[in-house]
Every structure is written in structure tokens, then in C-alpha cells.
């Protein structure tokens, strides 16, 4: 059975299994901030409604300037997108007919967008035995044949943040041989902005960084993301975008979100606390757990497919790994939710683990 390729939209999962979806569903398959959008977004909403009859700014203002100010970089180094998904499709066009390196297990949209543009893909799979750490030497040895390498930092689905020195070694080597590097920093907000490479992008004209507003600010419905790169790269990308690709409501909401420092600090603290508790719990029950530093983790239970389906029957939706190369369905991913939801999940998992031991 081909399961849905992404988290969220849990009712699609129930349809795939031919199950009737329960009235109450706890969806741990998606990994947005459980706090919901910042209060400032709701306060802004009435004003946004009154501006529905106005065309948005064609370049994505005020969000574009807000992102540039937030990172302390020129506006000419930023492009706004209708979600990071649009930007990945746009970026993939740069490599049409060329070759790209994708390191697995990782986010499936890299390959989906590259394949749509006729890009030949070299797949490098991180070793499970090595904890899915970035296989730096293998990547370095493969760069000469590629036009671009895609790296997810922190990685999805493992949550692992590659060592900065390792990323720098890849970036430097790629620059020497004319290979570009695309860094997906969609979840770096949940760690520390100092871990981002955006401040260094001026030193690396061959690096493109993609960011999402969806995860930290819990606004997947408005579709907003941005990319940062050398102004020449950004200018070329912008020339290929349709007019008004970012709607006015999204641009205004995005600008407000970037001002919410206290909100971000609280989100990071909550994610860290819940991830640590869940990691200890899963290890106590004999599971292998990825060394995540962000707002989700992946773990390997005794029988992932059985656990996945048994939880579905109880209204608990986890993220399968059947389309993550190197995990191949043996792992499940959990997004950190409210403390109450996480406690409920641990309770359901405790019952499952105890029942499995009894059946042995």
C-alpha cells in the first residue's frame, strides 16, 4: 500500500487504510508549533480582511524587508515564495538537465522537484549504524560530478543538526569546483538562529538557503517561505517567478511573525523539554531514537507498521518512514505537541509496548 508522502491531512491516511476516522484525532505526523499562530496574527486579522480588495505588493512586502532586517542582510539577497515548496521548484529549474546529490533519509520534495525538471539524481544514504550522521567523506568524493548538493539542516526526518565544520567542508569544496549547495533550514528556528548559515551567505555565492515560516509560526495554511542567496542568484530566481506569487495577507502576517521573539523562545523551550521526555521514554522501552535537536524525532520500535496502524485505530497519527530512504518503513516520526497531547501519546504507547511484550 502506498501511504501518503507527507505528514498532516490525517484523514487521507484513514482513507488509505479503509478505516473510519475517529471523531478525535491527535496528529503527531506534522511538526508545526503546537502553540498555534502568534497572538499578533489574530490581532492583525481584522485589518487584513479590510484590505482584501487591494493588490499585494509584487515583491512580497512588507515580508521581504522584514526577513532582510531580521537576518541583517540586504533585501536584494532575499526572495519570498508561496511556501518553501514553490521555492524548491523554482531552485530546481537552475539544474535542469544537470546532476544533483541528495542525501537520504530526507525531505521528499527535493527529489520530486528535481525529477520534474529532468535532473539526474545521485543518492547518498546515511548509515543507520552510524546514527544517520552526515556522510561527509562520501559527499566530498561525489561533488565533482554534480552541479548541486541538497542538505537538510537540521535534517528531516531525523532532526539531526550536522556539525558546522562538516557543512563548511562541503561548502568550501563545492565552491572550489563550481558546485552549488542548497541548505534547507526549515526547522532551524527551533534550535538557534546562530546555527543558520544566512549570516555567512555573502561569503558563499554558491549557497542558497531556504527557510519556511510554516513550522515555527504554525501558519501552513497561508503558504509562506523565503530563500537567501547572493543578489545575482536571487535576481535570476525572481525573473522566473509569476507576478504576485505571495498574497498580501501572507506577506503582512509573515512580517508580524518575525517580530515575535518571546514567542520563539517559548517554542524552543517547549520543543526541547518535550523531545527530551519523549526520547527518554522511548529509550526506556528499547527503541532506537535519532539524535534530534529540533521539534520532532524519529524512533525505531519493534514493529513500526503494526504500531502505526494500532495507533491509528486509537486516533493517534504518527509519521511513517516508508518513503524515507535508509529508514524504509522501520522508523516512525513524532512531532512535539502540547504537554497534554504528549502525555496522552506516552500513555497509549506504554499500553502498546506492554501488550507486545505480553504477546512475546
Question: For 229-268, what is each residue's pLDDT tens digit?
Answer: 999 999 999 999 999 999 999 999 999 999 999 999 999 9
Q: Is 2 a member of any domain?
A: no
Last residue of a domain, one of 260, 278, 293: 260
Closest CA to 84 of 271, 245, 274, 214: 214
Angle at 279 between CA 218 and CA 219, to 5 degrees: 5
Write out the residue range of the structural domain in which residue 138 sits.
39-260
Q: Is 247 a member of any domain?
A: yes
Residues 288, 197, single domain; the answer is: no
Residues 172, 25, single domain; the answer is: no
The structure's pTM equals 0.95
- For residues 322 and 85, give the distance between their C-alpha atoms in angstroms, rounded to a whole number: 21
Q: What is the CATH number of the domain that holds 299?
A: 3.90.1150.10
- For residues 316 and 358, give the distance between their C-alpha atoms in angstroms, rounded to a whole number: 22
Here the cell at position 330 is 522501520
Closest CA to 89 of 119, 114, 59: 114
Q: Is 156 a member of any domain?
A: yes
DSSP state of 96: T
* pLDDT interval class at 358 (50, 70, 90): low
Report CA-CA distances (Å) from 58 to 15, 70, 81: 39, 20, 11
Q: Is 111 a member of any domain?
A: yes
Q: For 12-68, how does the pLDDT look when each residue is reduced to its tens digit (9 = 90+)?
A: 888 888 888 888 999 999 999 999 999 999 999 999 999 899 999 999 999 999 999
Q: Looking at the 3D structure of the chain, how many domains does it have?
A: 2
Here the cell at position 105 is 533519509
Q: What is the CATH number of the domain that holds 250?
A: 3.40.640.10
Here the cell at position 75 is 533585501
Amino acid at each position: 500500500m502506498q501511504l501518503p508522502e507527507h505528514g498532516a491531512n490525517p484523514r487521507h491516511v484513514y482513507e488509505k487504510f479503509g478505516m473510519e476516522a475517529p471523531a478525535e484525532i491527535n496528529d503527531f505526523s506534522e511538526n508545526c508549533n503546537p502553540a498555534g499562530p502568534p497572538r499578533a496574527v489574530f490581532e492583525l486579522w481584522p485589518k487584513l480582511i479590510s484590505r482584501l480588495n487591494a493588490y499585494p505588493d509584487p515583491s512580497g512586502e512588507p515580508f521581504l524587508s522584514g526577513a532582510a532586517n531580521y537576518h541583517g542582510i540586504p533585501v536584494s539577497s532575499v526572495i519570498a515564495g508561496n511556501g518553501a515548496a514553490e521555492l524548491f521548484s523554482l531552485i530546481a529549474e537552475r539544474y535542469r538537465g544537470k546532476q544533483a546529490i541528495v542525501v537520504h533519509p530526507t525531505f521528499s520534495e527535493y527529489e520530486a522537484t528535481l525529477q520534474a525538471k529532468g535532473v539526474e539524481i545521485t543518492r547518498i544514504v546515511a548509515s543507520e549504524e552510524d546514527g544517520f550522521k552526515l556522510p561527509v567523506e562520501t559527499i566530498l568524493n561525489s561533488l565533482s560530478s554534480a552541479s548541486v548538493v541538497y542538505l537538510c539542516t537540521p535534517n528531516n526526518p531525523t532532526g539531526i543538526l550536522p556539525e558546522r565544520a562538516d557543512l563548511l567542508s562541503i561548502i568550501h569544496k563545492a565552491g572550489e569546483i563550481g558546485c552549488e549547495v542548497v541548505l534547507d533550514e526549515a526547522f532551524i528556528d527551533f534550535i538557534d538562529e546562530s546555527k543558520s548559515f544566512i549570516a555567512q551567505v555573502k561569503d558563499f555565492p554558491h549557497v542558497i538557503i531556504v527557510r519556511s515560516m510554516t513550522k515555527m509560526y504554525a501558519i501552513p495554511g497561508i503558504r509562506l517561505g523565503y530563500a537567501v542567496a547572493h543578489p545575482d542568484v536571487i535576481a535570476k530566481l525572481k525573473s522566473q517567478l509569476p507576478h504576485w506569487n505571495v498574497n498580501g495577507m501572507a506577506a503582512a502576517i509573515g512580517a508580524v511573525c518575525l517580530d515575535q521573539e518571546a514567542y520563539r523562545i517559548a517554542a524552543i523551550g517547549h520543543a526541547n523539554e518535550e523531545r527530551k521526555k519523549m526520547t527518554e521514554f522511548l529509550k526506556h522501552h528499547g527503541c532506537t531514537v535519532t539524535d534530534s535537536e529540533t521539534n520532532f524525532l524519529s524512533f525505531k520500535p519493534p514493529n513500526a507498521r503494526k504500531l502505526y496502524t494500532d495507533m491509528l485505530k486509537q486516533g493517534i497519527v504518527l509519521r511513517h518512514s516508508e518513503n524515507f530512504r535508509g529508514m524504509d518503513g522501520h522508523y516512525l516520526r513524532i512531532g512535539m505537541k502540547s504537554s497534554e497531547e504528549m502525555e496522552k501519546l506516552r500513555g497509549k504507547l506504554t499500553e502498546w509496548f506492554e501488550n507486545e511484550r505480553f504477546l512475546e
